[in-house]
Amino acid sequence: MIVGIVIGVVVLFLLVMLAFSVKIIREYQRIVLFRLGRAVGVRGPGLVLINPVTDRTSWVDLRERFLEIPHQTAITKDNASISIDFIIFYKVVDPSMTVLQVQNFAAAAQNVAATTLRSVVGDMPLDDVLSKREDMNASLRVRLDEVTERWGVKVTTVEVREVNPPAGVLDAMTRQMSAERTRRAAITEAQGQKQAAITLAEGTKQAAILGAEGERQSAILRAEGLAAGLQTILVVGRGLDTNTMQLQYLETLKQVGTAPSTKIVVPMELLGGIMNGLRGVLPGESANGTGASGDDGASGGTVWVADSTNRGEIGETGGS
């Protein structure tokens, strides 16, 4: 009976020891094995057997992780106080160094990040801190990676989340942004007015050119039409006889007589007869055979033709 109890206890002990001896390590995990206090290597992944009496293990996660750095106050190169918070993404590349070289990586990385941030911001003016986020992120990543490399940790990314400048700087930035937008709006409006004026001037120029071209073409066509008409009249006139010309002359006199203005029309034939009659009755001409205005200084006859409102007369003046 006692032997059976002893055997049962031994079997139970062996089962418990076996349970503590078997370790199943996932793909993204590693264990750093210590035997009697000495590091004997890294185990995993898969099934790992250890001696629970003499061996101790430290688990290490190889997945990429992040560490949030709370708001840190820093002074820029131009003596502006700002508050910055950022995130560090890191990954373990050497599990044994992560366990052996640093006790608490998260706390150590947070303190190193705070001091590194003050160093990086102190080398940059406020405008660069606000506008050159990528440069600041790259500088922080390089400097942090130089420190964490000896801990077997690789800093993959550093992202600045928020930058809080002082209230006075925020007001100045707001006024500057408003002034810059006003300036851009004025420039855009001026450029639009300039473009509109140029377009209007070009349109006026094209209209003037087209108008001048049209007037030139119209003048050419009128001149060509007038020349063709005159040529036709000349050709037709050469074939007309005396009777046709006389009828045309009388038609012209009729049109002149029907005009609304007040006038007296004397045909050429009648005027010629009157002048011949006057020459026959003038004393100077009958006696001396000279005209109305002779060489002896006598003044010749004068003929007045007046309209209906100012009646005239036909008179003569004799010479001495």
Query: Could you tell me if 29 and 102 lie in one domain?
Result: no
Q: Which residue has the tokens 């003016």?
A: 125
- CB under 8 Å, gap of 24 or more: what pairs does 170-177 form? 173/130
pLDDT over 90 (residue 90): yes
Nearest to 105 by CA among 136, 149, 139, 55: 149
> Do the domain assignments include residue 185?
yes
Q: Is the pLDDT at 143 greater than 90, yes or no? A: yes
With a CB cutoff of 8 Å and minimum separation 6, the contacts of 30 are 42, 43, 44, 45, 59, 60, 62, 95
Q: Is 299 within a domain?
A: no
* φ, ψ (nearest 5 deg) of residue 152: 75, 25
- Which two tokens mark 314? 């036909």
Q: Do residue 75 and residue 140 come from a single domain?
A: yes
Neighbours of 57 (CB within 10 A): 18
51 found inside a domain:
yes
According to the model, what pLDDT value does residue 130 have? 86
pLDDT tens, residue by residue, 273-304:
666 666 666 555 444 444 434 344 333 333 43
Q: Domain end: 165, 192, 211, which one? A: 165
d(CA 289, CA 78): 125
Per cent of the chain over pLDDT 70 is 77
Say whether both 31 and 47 belong to one domain: yes
Q: CA 60: distance to chain centroid? A: 56
In three-state secondary structure terms, 142 is helix
| One domain, residues 133 and 83 | yes
The phi, psi pair for 165, rounded to 5°, reads -75, 170
Residue 227 confidence (pLDDT)? 86
CA 95/CA 92 separation, integer angstroms:
6
Q: Do residues 51 and 74 lie in contact, with contact meaning Cβ atoms separated by under 8 Å?
A: no
**160 and 72 within one domain:** yes
Q: Which residue has the higher pLDDT, 306 or 211?
A: 211
| Residue 263: how many other CB atoms lie within 10 Å | 11
Considering its fold, how many domains does the chain have in total? 3
Helices (H), 163-299: 167-238, 242-257, 268-281, 283-288
Statement to judge: residues 53 and 79 lie in one domain? no
Average pLDDT, the chain: 80
CATH number at residue 107: 3.30.479.30
- Highest mean pLDDT of the ranges 226-235, 267-276, 293-302: 226-235
Q: What is the pLDDT of residue 286?
A: 43
Q: How confident is the model at residue 152 (pLDDT cuts 50, 70, 90)?
A: very high
Which residues constitute the domain of residue 71?
65-165
Task: Report pLDDT digits (tens) over 5-14.
Answer: 888 888 888 8
Cα separation, 116 vs 147, whole angstroms: 10
